[in-house]
Each structure stands twice: as structure tokens, then as C-alpha cells.
Amino acid sequence: MLQGKKKMIRCLFFISLLIHTTLAQKAPKNPPHDVPQAPAKKWLTHSGNQPEVVARGGFYGLFPEASLPAISMAMQTSLQDMVVLCNLQMTKDGVGFCLSDIRLENSTNIALVYPKGQKTYKVNGKDVRGWFAVDYVADELLSNVTLIQNIFSRPSLFDSLYPVSTIEAVQDANISKFWLNVQYDAFYTQHKVSVLEYVQAALKFAPIEIISSPEIGFLKSLKVNKGTKLIFEFLDANEVEPTTNQTYGSIVKDLARVKSFASGIVVPKGYIWPVNPDKYLGAPTTLVSDAHKLGLEVYASGFANDITASYNYSYDPSNEYLQFIDNAEFSVDGVITDFPPTASQAIACFAQNRNGTKPRKGQPLVISSNGASGVYPGSTDLSYHQAVEDGADIIDCSVQMTKDGVAFCLDSADLMGDTTAMTSFMSRTSSVPEIQNNSGIFSFDLSWTEIQSLKQTPAKKNSGKFITLAEFLDFAKAKAVTGVLINIQNAAYLASKKGLDIVGAVNTALSNATLDKQSTQQIMIQSDDSSVLSKFKHVPTYKRVLFINEKIGNAPKQTVEEIKKYADAVNVPRSSVVEISDSFATRFTSVVKDMHAANISVYVHVLMNEFINVPFDYFSDPTVELATYVQGGLVDGVVTDYPATASRYLGSPCSNPDDTSLPYTILPAEPGALVDSVQNPEAKPPAAAPLPPLEVADVVDPPLPPVTNVATNGPPAAAPAPPASGALANVANFGLSLVAILVFSVLSVRH
């Protein structure tokens, strides 16, 4: 019966391989022999070779752990010599399965299949309650139990579709290297299941390049040939090693002893780069250097794109890998990860390329979103300095006005969200339905002196200071950036109700900075109001950008022709380029194609690194999202809170899909392929309603009203100005909330 199950699993593997071929993100792994190869990089690993990518359970960040699609997808999307790591669990008849958690209910549907099977056992001295493989024979698990995703920030779309994988099934998947981790030898020995006999027999069945364990006694009892490395796994420093009854924190102080029975070590990331309670990195330890001096290799574990790491990484998972493999002091010998494509691109594309290469001619622009607002509070001097340092081509200023007529940079006229205005100016709260539904404290009701007294909200550490539009333009000239984007909001309301001429303020600031009489730096004027854009038609060097905040599925020819009268470019939300449904990318819209047909540039906003904003199809990786909009969506610019991530990608040789000499290429996701890979229609998320087209009425605005003199006893206030074409009620969805992901995971059909 077991042999029949093995044949079934092999058959499932080949079926899944066909299903998931369309999901491949990799260029050919072996470049043609006649293509010149790039010079080999020099690494600070123990061997001097490139660090290894070790995929825990295959592509565990996307599929259930060690499912055959997880193995297949990991091979397709990672470096050629990727290592597949399996954590060993044993049945009572001595068959090995590939699952991290000894409690099977955390990664399978066993609690539904065998509801009375829950037991309590001592595991490393602690009472653990759950369902254990040691209580079942292999056929009971293979016949009835299926895998589920046990991390709720990951897709449950593939739950209950695939059987649990035996060690032999994973080895049969044509992987390059295999790593077997034996976590619970002492536990299984107590239950009269010999892990040692199983592993010794497995070594005769197929190669096992690496065997690891957190139990010293097990490693010492193994007999292996030269082709198999033994690695000692360190658990948390306060955990007790069962053979010696010492804590791992004390064992790590005697690495020479470890060298007597192992050729390397695995440690949690914090052993190397500790993270302080404030979530910033502390000083590195000397562990890697000390181990290398003794001849021990060092692997770091615990890498995943969908966990919150140190703030130093700016929510970019590639940055974390680079911290461990590309610093001046050391490099770990490998990284154990749930997202092998991200580790692969960090090693092959970004490491030892800190200065990058110049982006190829014609590549999209990197446009900041209130400066580098993912790093520092937006629209402050610090965020603009960081944006320039991080390689932004265009830095932006959303202009707001004070009641005394000072133009300054801030994302919104409402000060309540990003500043301490509530603590000082609660009495200035007002309702302005022409701008927003909620009440607020607005910049045009405060003087510039009062604005300067405000701080950023405590969550943003009160860092940075607000700057005027004139100061912003002076800074841009001094830094010689490629260009600036000036965003103008609420012009009709300010003119008719507050007597403030925001259009005139912008024109004057640009003229005073002599930016209206030059063509060296690109000046972009952006607004959701076509009448505002018309006011800047007199300067031919200005590029006018229509801001579209609504989600649209296409742009009819008549609408595009109307846009052409007012703008040279449009700035649309992400979901107007790639439709998103239930955290999955479903298809490219025709918006970019429609605009390009009329020679209108398309910029996309706002790209963010935080994984909760990145659909599953992009592997919770902002770099893959960038590749999808740049290579797949063909946008002309990306508006981002994190310019460093965008500029690093565009400056990497791996962003060029035409370079066949590269060992790795970052290719776009194919919207819809991930959902379509599931054959059962009932398991798929419901199809979203089609996005509406962009209509002419959404583009054309009434003329701007004259600027009233509110300082005198003028006529009664006019009726509210008609809403701007871009001021519809539905606000663009800039990202996927964690709540939505959690709800989706809970409600997904399991069958």
C-alpha cells in the first residue's frame, strides 16, 4: 500500500509541475556557453563561495510546507543550486514525513480527520498537546490527511489540496541538494521509533547533502560519508539541549567543542545580528567570524518576507539578507528561508552591488511619495534628503497653504493624521465637506508660525521639520535631482472660501527659483483638477500630470483625447494597472495601453514595502511587485514611499530580461496565474466586479473660481464649488490590510 502511495505522490508531482509552469519567474538557469559570463564575486563565506539559499519546505511562504507545488515552485524561482530543507517527523511504522511542527494539526487537517486523536506528550521536558505522527501509520496519513497553510498572513487557497510529503517524495522531485533536519530524536526514541536507523537507511536510498539536529547525541551517533555534512542547530539561547542539559546559550560559547562532531552550525538570526526592543539592530556579534576561524560554516535561520523585522531594513526583505551576506566583516554561508526567490535575488542581483549600475536609458522614473516617507515622516527635510540619497529621480511636494498665504509641503491639508495638531489646536477643528467627509484641523486655518510649532506624531518619533515650497525648490536645485513634482490640491475651495491663490503661489515659487526658464530639471505639475493643469499650459517645459485616484479598468478613446488637452501624463493607483481581488493579482487592465496609444505617460501610485500591501502573486516581495509594473505593466514611473527599493531594482542587472548571461533574472508575476493554478473552481476566491471605465465627466472640471478677498466684508460665500473630477467618494485601495488577509484565510474553503 505504501509503495502505491509513493507512486501516487510522484504522479501528483508531475501534474503539479505542469500546473505551475506558468508561474515560473526565472530566466534560464544555464546561460548559453557562447555568452560571456560576469566575473565571479568574492565572498566572505568560510569557503569563499556564494552563500547558499536553503528553502525550508520548498516555497513555504506561498504553498503549504513541503507540498510538491512548494518544491516545484521553489526550484523554478530560485538559484540553480538551491537546497531544499525538510524537518523530519516519524510515523509509528518508521516512515519519515517533511513537516516542521511536531503537532500535525498546525500544518494539516488531521484534527478534522481524526478528531479524537489529540494527546499530550513530554517533548524536551515540556507537556505538548496535539496530534502526533508517532500515533499513526504512514498509510493513515497519506490516505486521509492533507496539508494546510498554518501562517494566516499566507494564502489558504491551496489548503487541503495536497497530501503530506514523505522524505522520499521530496527527494524524487529532482532537487539539486537535500537537507534533512532531525528535531526530535529523543522524543521518537522514547516512543520506540528509531530515527537513527531511518536516517542511516535513507542515506543508502538517495543522497542527503546535509543532516542537522539540535541534539548533540544524535549527531555523534551518525555514520556518514564525506558527501554529507553534519550541522548542529542552535535553538533559542534559553532552551536546553537534551543530551548535555546545557542551554544553547552556553554551548555557543564553546564552538571548538561543536567542531568535534559537526562541520557547521545553524543559528537563529538574532545570534548574529541582535534586534533591540525598539526594533532597531544592535551591534553584530562575532559568532560568524569566530566560527569561520574554527572551520565551521554558519547558516542563519528564520528568514521570511511576511514577518516584521528590524526597522533598519525598511520593510524590504532583500535588505535583511544583505545585512547577513554583504557586509565588510563577514558573510554567512547560507540562509534558511520560506521565500527562496527573495534570497536568490539578494545574492545574485543586489549583493556586492551597493552602488548599483546606472539605470538603462528609457527605464521608468522613480518618483518619491512625500519624500522617502517610509523611512522618515513624509514631507519633511529628512524625508527629502533620504529620497535623494536613495536614488529618487523625481522628488515631490504636495502643496498646502497656511491662512497667511505660505505654501509648504504636506500630504494632506488635514493636520490631524500626521501631526500633533490635536493637542494644540483642537478648537480649530472644522468640517469641510468639499475636501473630506470627516472633520479635521486644516492648514489653511493656521498660520505658518503655528504650523512650525507642530511635531510629527509620536509614532513617527517627531523627527524632521516642515519646509516651505520655496525651500523645497531650493533643495531640489542644490541636489540637481532629475526633476520635481508639484501636487496641487483643493485649488477651487481655497480660492472661493479662503481667499488663497495656491496656483499663483506655485507659479511665483517656480518663477523665483527660475525653474520656469530652464529645461535641465523636469518640472511636473500634478493635480486632480483639469482647470488647475490648464493654468500651467503657458510654460511648455512643464509636464502636466492628471492625478486619478479612482480605480479604473480602461480609458475609452474619447476620454483619453480629453485628457490630452490638459495633461501629458496620468498618475493612477496600482489597482488600475493590475486588478487585485482578495489579495491576488487577477489581470492587467488596458489603462496603460489606452494611454500610451495617445502618447500619454502613465505613473502608478503608491508602492509600499510593507508585506501587507503586497499581493500574494508578488511573493510578499516589493521587488517582484516593481518588476510586475515595470516589465509587465510597462508603466513610465513608479511613485513609492521607498525610493531605495525601486532604484536598487532598476539599477540591478537582473532587471534586464534580455540579458541571457545572468544566472538569475527578476521577472514579473503573471496576474491570474496563481489563482488559475487551482483547478477546483470552488476553491478559488470569487471573481471581482469589473472595474469601471474612466469617463469624460471624471476628467473635465469647471473653471477655477476667482480668488475672493476674505479679509474684507465681501459678499456672502458662494455655493460650494462642484467636486473635482478626481474627488469621488471611493478612495483608491493603496494596499491590502492585514485584517483582510486574516479574514480571507479564515473564510477560505477547506475541502
**DSSP string computed for 76-134:** HHS-TTPEEEEEEEE-TTS-EEE-S-SSGGGTBSHHHHSTT--EEEEETTEEEEE--GG
Please, where are the H alpha helices in 315-407?
317-325, 340-345, 381-389
Compute mean pLDDT per 10 residues along the chain, 751 residues long, and list them: 42 40 40 47 95 98 97 97 98 97 98 98 96 98 96 93 97 97 98 98 95 98 95 98 97 98 98 96 98 99 96 97 97 99 98 70 93 95 97 98 98 90 91 93 96 74 87 98 98 97 98 95 98 97 98 98 98 98 94 99 98 96 98 98 97 89 92 90 83 97 94 40 42 32 32 34
Fold agreement between 2-102+165-350 and 369-414+461-743: yes
pLDDT of residue 419: 85
Residue 718 buriedness (CB in 10 A; 0-12 / 13-18 / 19+)? exposed
Give CA–CA dist 533/516, Å, rounded.
15
CA distance 73 to 75: 5
The DSSP secondary-structure symbol of 458 reads: G
Grid cell 482647470 is found at 531
Name the residue type at position 156.
Answer: S
Cell matching residue 724: 473635482
Cell numbers representing residue 182 in the block: 532531525
3-state SS assignment for residue 630? helix
Name the pairing type of β-strands 210-213 and 177-181. Answer: parallel
Smallest Cα–Cα separation from 613: which of 740, 514, 500, 459? 740
Number of Cβ atoms within 10 Å of the Cβ of 160: 20
How far CA 537 is from CA of 367, 516, 533, 613, 673, in Å, comes to 22, 12, 7, 36, 44
Which is nearest to 51 in space by CA: 27, 77, 83, 87? 83
Can you give the residue ranges of every domain in the chain?
2-102+165-350, 369-414+461-743
Find the helix or strand (DSSP H, E) in which 68 lies: helix 68-77
Q: Are strands 96-98 and 334-337 parallel, antiparallel or unpaired?
A: unpaired
User: What pLDDT sits at residue 359?
Assistant: 63
Residue showing cell 538569475: 664
Taking the domain 369-414+461-743, which CATH number applies? 3.20.20.190
**Single pTM value for the model:** 0.89
Q: Is 2-102+165-350 in CATH node 3.40.50.2300? A: no
Q: What's the CA gap between 2 and 8, in Å, rounded?
A: 10
CB 153 within 8 A of CB 304: no
Q: Which of 212, 179, 210, 202 is nearest to 74 (CA)?
A: 179
The count of other CB atoms within 10 Å of the CB of residue 594 is 22
Query: Between vectors from CA 57 to CA 55 and to CA 61, what angle results, nearest 5°?
Result: 75
Q: What pLDDT does residue 103 have? A: 98
Count of residues making up the chain? 751
Q: CA geometry: angle at 744 spanning 739 and 749, to 5°?
A: 160
Helix (H) / strand (E) element for 745: namely helix 738-747
CA distances (Å), origin 657, targets 146, 663, 707: 38, 11, 52
Three-state DSSP class for residue 394? strand
pLDDT, position 579:
96
Residue 718: the pLDDT is 36
CA distance 305 to 307: 6
Place of cell 532537487: 175
Q: Is the distance from CB of 87 to CB of 54 less than 8 angstroms?
A: no
Strand partners of residue 587: 579
pLDDT of residue 234: 99
- Helix crossing, 381-389 with 469-479: angle to 10°? 20
Write out the H or E segment, with its range, that includes residue 495. helix 491-497
Within 10 A of 743 (CB to CB), how many other CB atoms are there? 13
**Nearest by Cα to 472 from 490, 484, 488, 462:** 484
Are 95 and 192 spatial neighbours (Cβ–Cβ below 8 Å)?
Answer: no
Distance CA 59, CA 621 (A): 13
pLDDT at position 418 is 80
